[in-house]
Amino acid sequence: MAGFFHDNLSYFLSGISVGGQYALIAIGYTMVYGILRLINFAHGDVFMIAGLVMVYLSASLPFTLSIPLVIIATVLLGFVIERVAYRPLRSAPRMSVMISAIGVSYLLQNAALYFTGGLAKVYPSIPGLSDTVVIWDATTKIVTLVTPFLTIALVAVLTLLIKHTKIGMAMRAVSRDFETSQLMGIRINSVISITFVIGSLLAAVASLLYFTNYASVTPVSGSMPGLKAFVAAVFGGIGSIPGAVIGGFIIGICENIIRGGASIFGIPGTGWTTFSDAFTFAFLIVILVVKPTGLFGEKAVDKV
Amino acid sequence: MKRILFIALAIAALLVPLSAGGSSEDGTTVRIGVFEPASGDNGAGGKQETLGIQYAQSLTPTVEIGGTVYDVELVLADNESSNDRAATAASMLVNEDVSVVLGSYGSGVSIAGSDIFRAAGVPAIGVTCTNPQVTEGNTHYFRICFLDPFQGTVLAAYAYNTLGARTAYCLAKLGDDYSSGLVNYFVEEFEALGGKCIMETFPDGNSDFTSYIANARNGGAEVFFSPTSTEAAQLIIDQSSSQGLTIPLLAGDTWDSNVILQAAKGKDVDITVTTFYPEGANQDFDNGFKEWVNADSTRLANNGGDDTVAAVTAMGYDAYNFALQAIRNAGSTDPADVMEAIWTTEIDGVTGHIELESVNGDAVRNTVYVKHCNTETGAWDALPAVVVGE
Amino acid sequence: MDSAYRKRLIAIWIGIAAVYLAVLLLDMTLRPTSMLLTVLKKGAIYSLVAVSMNLLNGFTGLFSLGQAGFMLIGAYTYAILTMPGDVKTSESVYKYYECFITFDTGVFIGLVAAGLMAALFAFLIGWPVLRLKSDYLAIATLGFAEIIRAIFQWDVLGPVTNGANLLRSYIDLTRVTLPFTDIPFPPTLFVFMVSGICILIIVLLINSSYGRAFKAIRDDETAAEAMGINLFRSKELSFVISSFFAGISGALLAMFQYTVQAQQFKSMMTYEILLIVVIGGIGSISGSCIASFLYITLSEWWLRGLDMGTFLGISAPSLFRSGFRKLVFSVIIMVIVLFFSRGIMGDKELSIPRMRAAFARAAKRMRKEAAG
């Protein structure tokens, strides 16, 4: 067993690292969905924009300045998107809001395409995170090791926030029953804004980690991680933060195992890797059909 | 009210361009279409190839046909490195009355645009698209570079004989005719020599190559062959360095780009590529081009931020001059005449002598240049060129 | 009332005939590569797929995002079936595989098979997926489209699908002939005819009792069920029919662009179609058609100047560079989504009395403004 892990450690390391990054993005999805019942299709693109902002800022500023600025810019972007594209449609049918989300995603991608000229931008290497280390004969970047711990730490803070603060209580109330909490005097709009702010903040952190690992940003860099993170959120039970985290890790690890399938299990064939993305979706459909509430989802009354 | 406004806008929009259609030829202009990607996976390479064409045009902006001096106008169409966008970009070009089309960087888009040029009767000259399917079985697509069966064979022989590798890991991009084609010819030759190959593909939009790198290591590969686009190449280089993969990375002409040099600089990687033209082979061309690129910040940005001379730029330069010679030989700007004349056109370009064989219209080339990346200086070191059939 | 209805019907048919005649004339007079014909063809193809998506999203209330996947199935089925047998057995397309299917069929069978194949997949997918609600359904169909794409790129199926490599040399639009002759069929007219017939069938379906059942489900599922509508069966029917026509439009797209490859059928394509439906108005067939032509013409033709340095005579190469067209376009789309969320037509159809009334209203308003 130890030998098996030793031989395949690099797959697990990649899986855990990318899983942690998915988890951070997934929290943004799951919180927004929990409150607004909206799949925020633009979330993955917010993550991509955070990467691009970092590329441009770090060209002229030191990291001590550019990293906080990236986080602030991303938070602002998330806030503005909610304000401009989702809030006016609050009383519209759910389909309209989702279409608006798709529109925002399209807009962000095209804006990125225009400003980058369609070329991949090389992400700066952040000293400390980008260095390589050797653990148990597997070579990897430090960021791979940092990611899971940082993810868990952030989630712990977030859970405390939600459990023990007033605003956290308001969030829980709104996600439980939108209208009643409004009647109880909770300011829905500010709760929703804060949800988007937290989601974008975590997306910015995820983008720092993700692009340090995979150092190139293109206009479509955000869409696949975004979709996978959404699947992770569904798997964990939408609305549940620990669920999203566990979902993220599981998806990240599975995806890398599939890519390494031929080598790990000694099954030859070239077809494996074709399905590394499709697997995620197959997984999603199985969950939706078998257990739509996910791992930790509440058995919510369907509010259709 | 909104709806009426909307319909009115729609009708207005319908009427505008009827007046603003394509500008007509005034009789002393010859148009050359540039069918190159400016965005997407191959955007970086496409831009460099376009620069070569533009540089050549800046040196020779006119052509004399039958005693009249014609101005040469370049019509650029971005095919976005995508096969479905290629079709519309190609029809836009033929609609602009071009006499001949140059391009594209990337074999897939060339194949996708090919039938549109065929239907319109416009000849096309492939500059660096190396997949055989581009010219095979048609009479309107030509090419001035070598082909993948040739390049793949040379690479395989290089890996087996020079690097002494017996197991090769080959990574192609799913659905990319260039990389899957080249991998295929590489594998054929490598296995014929007695080596063993592990073949894998990665899907579009993939940015995590660590598992593929682990597969290569676990499979006992001694050389990592991945003729991908430069976008994927950046990631592969970065991740193989951070994963401590020390076996040589081997690739084809796409990797001959300053993008690769920038990605590899200061990293622990061993990169060897085959290409069309080594910088320094023609000093006049190199110096002239560098001066021209440095004169304009947009050009510099399109060249990847420095003044390295990419092989595709030299090829683009030759392609332009080749097309001009063909137009001169044809004595007409009519696409059909140009198509006829291309078969027998010959020039001495900066990348060597160019003439086409008479079956598919491919260039007769027997030299592949080999370069090795110097990770300290961030420049290419020329290795001895491989000449086949001498 | 009856005679007024008949008059309207005759007017509609005359209008349609005039459009087809105009298309035929354009086809005969303009050169085949002209931009006008190109956008007309692509617009007609997108009309069909937009209408098929509207059938699901607008008339049945099923938010499905799987359209690109079904187009892919249609395009591949058509391309594989109509590619001449000797091309398939030779090395020119199937480079790395021995083609498994050695026979070839004509255009008509190819098109129908394309639709049927997509419908079959839809039938199978519908079983698990259609039990899901709104956004879960959307994400599950999106996922299935991605899975379909992966399956068609799978190496093991290479002998059928040519792996992930592109397919070409099948019967494209320039090679369609009139039945039993060698006379080429006017390509634009062909696309218009196929799309037109398919859309007509969808219109008839929507106005049938099935269509009323669909609308009942859209408006209120519980009430529809109480009225005795079998929810699942109706949804499945709508899903399968929509996919059938998406398959045909995929086949037309393959004919239009000469080559086809699984790679292009990404979720972005579905989003584009969805946006067309939204621009046209969810629940309006004529809206979807108008929006398709508008969208294609703008994005492929008129706004191209935004990418090329000069637009409407204004030359600003540093502003109007590659990608600006798409940026402008996505801003327009956001404006439509936010401020004109009913699109061009809302859920109404284009009809002569309504247009007349609208113009009368506009004229009246203008008079009033001029007076006041």
Which residues contact residue C125 at a Cβ distance below 8 angstroms, ignoring those fewer than 6 apart? C66, C141, C144, C239
Q: Do B10 and C307 count as a contact with CB atoms less than 8 A apart?
A: no
Q: Indicate if B148-275+369-387 has the same CATH topology as B29-146+282-356.
A: yes
Any CB–CB contact under 8 A between B108 and chain C? yes
* Domains annotated on chain C, with CATH: 35-288 (1.10.3470)
| A110 has a chain C CB within 8 A of its CB | yes
Task: Read off the pLDDT of each residue in C215-234 and give the average, rounded to a whole number.
Answer: 90
**Closest CB to C362 among B4, B76, B92:** B4
Contact flag B199-A119 (C-beta cutoff 8 Å):
no
CATH code for the domain in which residue A104 is found: 1.10.3470
pLDDT of residue A154: 92
Q: Chain B within 8 Å of A8 (Cβ-Cβ)?
A: yes
Flag residues of chain B having pLDDT under 50: 16-25
Closest residue in chain A to residue B229, using alpha carbons only = A120
pLDDT of residue B343: 92
Closest-approach residue (CA) in chain B for C355? B4
Is pLDDT at C134 greater than 80 in this prediction?
Answer: no
ipTM score here?
A: 0.86
Percent of chain C, pLDDT > 70?
A: 97
- B:C CB pairs within 8 Å: 118
B62 touches chain C (CB under 8 A): no
Residue A221 within a domain: yes
H or E segment and range at residue C315: strand C314-315
CB contact C159 to A (< 8 Å):
no
Res C43 pLDDT > 80: yes
pLDDT for A301: 45
Question: Higher confidence at residue A42 or residue C163?
Answer: A42
pLDDT of C337 higher than 80:
yes
Chain A closest-CA separation from residue C63 CA (Å): 7
Q: In total, how many domains does chain A have?
A: 1
Residues of A in contact with B213 (CB under 8 A): 10
Q: How far apart are CA A167 and CA A155, in angstroms?
A: 16
Query: Hey, is the C-beta of C97 within 8 angstroms of any chain A C-beta?
Result: no
Quick check: A221 and B207 CB within 8 A?
yes
Question: Which residue of B38, B218, B235 is in closest CB contact with A118?
Answer: B38
Of A132, A216, A270, which is closest to B201 when you measure between CB atoms? A270
**How far apart are the CA of B10 and the nearest CA of chain C, in angstroms?**
7
Residue A303 lies in a domain: no
The CATH number that domain B148-275+369-387 falls under is: 3.40.50.2300
Task: Report the mean per-residue pLDDT for chain C.
Answer: 87
Chain B neighbours among A 71-130 (CB < 8 Å)? 113, 117-120, 122, 130
Which residues from B are below 8 Å from C259, CB to CB? 83, 87, 111-112, 115
What parts of chain A have a pLDDT lower than 50? 301-304
DSSP A215: -
- Helical H segments across chain A, by residue range: 2-7, 9-36, 43-58, 63-81, 94-116, 142-164, 166-176, 178-183, 188-213, 223-236, 241-259, 261-264, 276-290
Distance from CA of C148 to the nearest CA of A (A): 8
The answer to whether residue C239 scores a pLDDT higher than 90 is yes
Domain extent listing, chain B:
29-146+282-356, 148-275+369-387
Which pTM does this prediction carry? 0.89
Residue at A56 is within a domain: yes
CB contact under 8 A, C333 and A107: yes
> What per-residue confidence (pLDDT) applies to A90?
86
Q: What contacts B7, CB < 8 A, 6 or more positions away?
A: C344, C358
Q: Determine contact: C86 vs chain B, CB below 8 A.
A: no
- Asked whether the predicted pLDDT for residue C343 surpasses 60, the reply is yes
Range of the domain at A204: 2-290
What sign for the dihedral angle of Cα A29, A30, A35, A39?
A: positive
Tell me the Ramachandran region of residue B174: left when phi exceeds 0, alpha when psi lies from -120 to 50, beta otherwise. Answer: beta
Q: Which architecture characterizes domain B29-146+282-356 according to CATH?
A: 3-Layer(aba) Sandwich (3.40)
Q: Name which of C45, C91, C264, C354 to mutate to probe chain B: the one with the most chain B Cβ atoms within 10 A of its Cβ.
A: C264
Q: Does B120 touch chain C (CB under 8 A)?
A: yes
> Which of C144, C155, C330 is closest, CB to CB, to A106?
C330
Q: Dump pLDDT digits (tens) for B155-214.
A: 999 999 989 999 999 998 887 888 888 999 999 999 999 999 988 888 877 888 888 888
pLDDT top residue among B51 and C134: B51
User: How far away is chain A from the Cα of C338, in angstroms, using its nearest Cα?
Assistant: 7
* Mean pLDDT in residue range C91-104: 81
